[in-house]
Amino acid sequence: MAQGPVEASAPSFHVDRIDAGRIDELVGILDVQAELPGIRRMRQWAHEALAVRAGERALDIGAGTGSEVMVFAQRVGEDGAAVGLDPNPMMLAIALRRAEAAGSAARLVHGSVYHLPFPDASFDAVRCERVYQHLDDPAAATAEIARVLRPGGRVLLIDSDWYTAITHPGDPEVVAALGAAMLAETPNPASGRRLRGLLAAGGFAIDDQGSEAVIWDPVTARPLFEQMNEQAVRQGTVTREEYDRLIAELDAGIARGDFHFSVTMFAVLAHKV
Model confidence over 120-170: pLDDT tens digits? 999 999 999 999 999 999 999 999 999 999 999 999 999 999 999 999 999
Give the pLDDT confidence score for residue 57 in this predicted structure. 98
Q: Whole-model pTM?
A: 0.89
Give the pLDDT confidence score for residue 13 in this predicted structure. 44
Give the pLDDT confidence score for residue 19 in this predicted structure. 59
Query: Mean pLDDT, the chain, as a whole number?
Result: 90
**d(C-alpha 79, C-alpha 55), whole Å:** 5
**Taken in order 95, 97, 103, 105, is the CA torsion positive or negative?**
positive
Give the pLDDT confidence score for residue 185 in this predicted structure. 86
**d(C-alpha 123, C-alpha 81), whole Å:** 9
Give the pLDDT confidence score for residue 145 in this predicted structure. 98
**d(C-alpha 126, C-alpha 269), whole Å:** 10
Give the pLDDT confidence score for residue 67 in this predicted structure. 97
Give the pLDDT confidence score for residue 12 in this predicted structure. 35
Give the pLDDT confidence score for residue 229 in this predicted structure. 73
Give the pLDDT confidence score for residue 4 in this predicted structure. 39
Give the pLDDT confidence score for residue 5 in this predicted structure. 35
Give the pLDDT confidence score for residue 21 in this predicted structure. 63
Spans of the chain below 50 pLDDT: 1-13
- Spatial neighbors of 269 by CB under 8 A, at least 6 apart, are 49, 50, 154, 155, 156, 206, 207, 208, 209, 210
Give whole-number Cα distances, 74 to 80, 163, 204, in Å.
Answer: 10, 36, 27
- Spatial neighbors of 5 by CB under 8 A, at least 6 apart, are 89, 92, 93, 96, 108, 109, 110
CB 92 within 8 A of CB 6: no
